[in-house]
Chains A and B, each alone.
Chain A
Amino acid sequence: MAQIRVLSPVGVVKVQTVAVPSLPQSWRGRTVGFLDNTKSNFDRLVTDLGELLRARYGVAAIVHRKKANASTPASTELIEELAKQCDVVFAGSAD
């Protein structure tokens, strides 16, 4: 049978891998931040996980901030605030 050449419809990713800072080995005395995407129960998860971090790692403070809503990016100001205040930040993703 005759052949046909067809082009791929898939977009190409051009991405540069970024080196990301490692998590600290010692968490005692540190401030841990949580960027809450406002999805249901993430706040409860933050409370419970924060307690575990305090009790088991000696984390000194938990900073909990919420995005305006779940479906738009966090504001630059919010990101900068967390970066300034916290030694480590975890962001909630999706549901």
Chain B
Amino acid sequence: MAKQGTPAGLIGTTAFQGLAVSEMSAQGVSALPLLVVEHPLGGERPDSIARRAQQAFEQLNALIGGSATRSAGTATKDPTTGATTVSNGPPTIQSGLAGPATTMPQSGELFLDLPDDPTAVFEAFTKRAWADGLPIIPPTEERVRAMLGGRDGGKTLGVMPPLWRQVTLDKLAVNAVMAGCEPRAFPIIIAAVEAMLDRSFNLYGVQATTHPVAPLLVVNGAYGREVGLHGGSGCFGPGFRANATIGRAIRLILLNVGGAWPGRYDMATQGSPAKYSYCIAENEAASPWEPMASGDTVTVFGGEPPHNVNDHVATTASAVLTTLCDTAVSLGSNVGWYFSQSQLMVVLGPEHARTIADDGFTRADVQRFVYEHARLTLGQLKLGGMWGMHDWPRWMTAVADPATLLPQVPSPEDIYVVVAGGSGKHSAVIPNCTFSRAVSRPIAVP
């Protein structure tokens, strides 16, 4: 709006001030006024909101009066007296509700000359917030060149939020080396990044949200298997180099190229273990149906960690899926609140999949059953969650009977069904974050 000539500004809270300032800088509009009020707004009483409005007004007053910098002020609360004062100095960076301030990444250095010692390299990267807390493989020029495999390192796939940095192949390669990837994994990483940059995926929302969403990569096709991706027993857990390192490379890219550092730009309240690495192959050999995606394909799905579905007694499709549907819905789930972008992934263990298929169910039948039965009533939804800030189509907002069961996703096609895992009577459901749609991309197999 400001770029088009309308005077504009932002209003945010102290906890998200750092994200706002950096976002404005990355967009070239750091001169925009930013009014900062006490965090939080949500859950506060009317008198508390009135106080915050006064804070915003006083900052605006100072800006217009010319007695402060354009960065307005910061609202801070005296822990002893509870009084809030607004300073008109440069905004201070809040680290969140509790805990130490996070280290600020330094993006000015293009390379480092370090002692050739794993610990020294690890410490240097950690100090600069270039790593995820775990040791890395030093990204030497030789290793990065090998990872690029003759590709033009300067080629850009676009810009990555939340700091809108250039997504060049050389930077993807650096992070892939750090993660421990083999060069043959690089085409999968490129395809996954392309998928995440698709507008439908809403990577900005995924990166900056308070929700613990992480992009899950599901890889189909022979190339993924050739690279070593595992879709069998324990596939979501440790032990498989391709799963671990490709997933980790994605997270390092999101951190270092996108800039989504936890607590400052990635505002996930608690995060999740899935943010370290989240990548599997579909177990196509054990699936009774066709692959979820055809050919050599990577699908990225913005999801929570897997929620286990334990059913040791079902002998019919209906029985397995009834247990699964009950697990799939909860008041605390994000799915369904922003309806048009809500999706669910169903990860059937091979034994459950076999029970379902032996009952004559196709994948489409599974999608339809889950769509029809993974529901909550209007009355339940009114109890909390995101009630009041939901974004529903007109037909849903018109529903009045509290006993009406409402769908979680717009259509059966928004339920992704994949087979993965090993022996045992377990499956999983993975709710999405409600504001990102899964995207698939073909892998450019060399």
Report A's interface with B, CB cutoff 8 A.
Answer: 1-25, 27, 38-42, 44-45, 48-49, 51-53, 56, 68-73, 79, 82-83, 86-95
Contact = CB atoms under 8 A, between A and B. Distances in A.
A82 B9 CA distance: 13
B2 A41 contact: no
A4 B205 CA distance: 38
Contacts of B30: 17
A12 B43 contact: no
Contacts of B205: 71-72
Interface stretch (B74-82, B165-173, B275-283, B316-324): B165-173
Nearest to B106: A10
Interface of B: 1-13, 15-16, 19-20, 23, 25-33, 35, 37, 39-44, 46, 49-50, 52-54, 56-57, 60-61, 63-64, 105, 107, 109-117, 121, 130, 138-141, 144, 160, 163-168, 170-171, 174-175, 178, 202, 204-205, 208-210, 252, 256-259, 267, 337-338, 341, 388-391, 433-435
B341 A72 contact: yes
B435 A49 contact: no
A45 B175 contact: no
Given A20-B2, A23-B7, A6 B112 contact: yes
A52 B35 CA distance: 15
A3 to B, nearest CB: 5
User: Most A CB atoms within 10 A — which of B6, B27, B109, B210?
Assistant: B6
B11 A91 contact: yes
A9 B140 contact: no
A84 to B, nearest CB: 9
Given A10-B105, A45-B37, A49-B57, A93 B115 contact: no
B50 A48 contact: yes
A11 B258 contact: yes
Counting chain B CB atoms within 10 Å of each CB, which of A10, A13, A41, A72 scores highest? A10
Q: Nearest 4 A-B pairs (CB), nearest first?
A: A11-B165, A48-B53, A94-B16, A40-B42
B130 A8 contact: yes
A94 B323 CA distance: 36
Given A9-B174, A72-B205, A40 B388 contact: yes
A18 B40 contact: no
A60 B251 CA distance: 49
A94 B19 contact: yes
B12 A93 contact: yes
Contacts of A41: 41-44, 49
Q: Which residue among B1, B112, B141 has the maximum number of chain A CB atoms within 10 Å of its CB?
A: B1
Contacts of A44: 46, 49
Contacts of A4: 113-116, 121, 138, 140
Contact of B1 (A15, A70, A79, A92): A79
B106 to A, nearest CB: 8
Nearest to A50: B53
A18 B130 contact: no
A72 B202 contact: yes
Contacts of A14: 166
16 contacts: A4-B114, A6-B112, A6-B139, A8-B107, A8-B109, A8-B130, A10-B256, A20-B3, A71-B435, A72-B205, A89-B1, A90-B9, A93-B20, A95-B13, A95-B16, A95-B39
Given A8-B111, A95-B39, A39 B389 contact: yes
Contacts of A88: 6-9
A22 to B, nearest CB: 7
B435 A15 contact: no
A36 B243 CA distance: 41
Contacts of B121: 4, 6
A21 B7 contact: yes
A89 B256 CA distance: 33
Given A1-B116, A40-B43, A94-B15, 19 more contacts: A5-B140, A7-B144, A13-B26, A15-B26, A18-B2, A20-B29, A39-B389, A40-B42, A40-B389, A41-B43, A48-B53, A49-B53, A69-B391, A71-B202, A71-B434, A72-B205, A89-B1, A90-B11, A91-B1
B72 to A, nearest CB: 11
B29 A18 contact: yes
Contact of A94 (B20, B50, B61): B20
A40 B166 CA distance: 33
A5 B110 CA distance: 10
B26 A2 contact: no
A12 B435 CA distance: 27
Contacts of B165: 10-13
Given A7-B110, A8-B109, A20-B29, A91 B391 contact: no
A12 B166 contact: yes
B2 A21 contact: yes
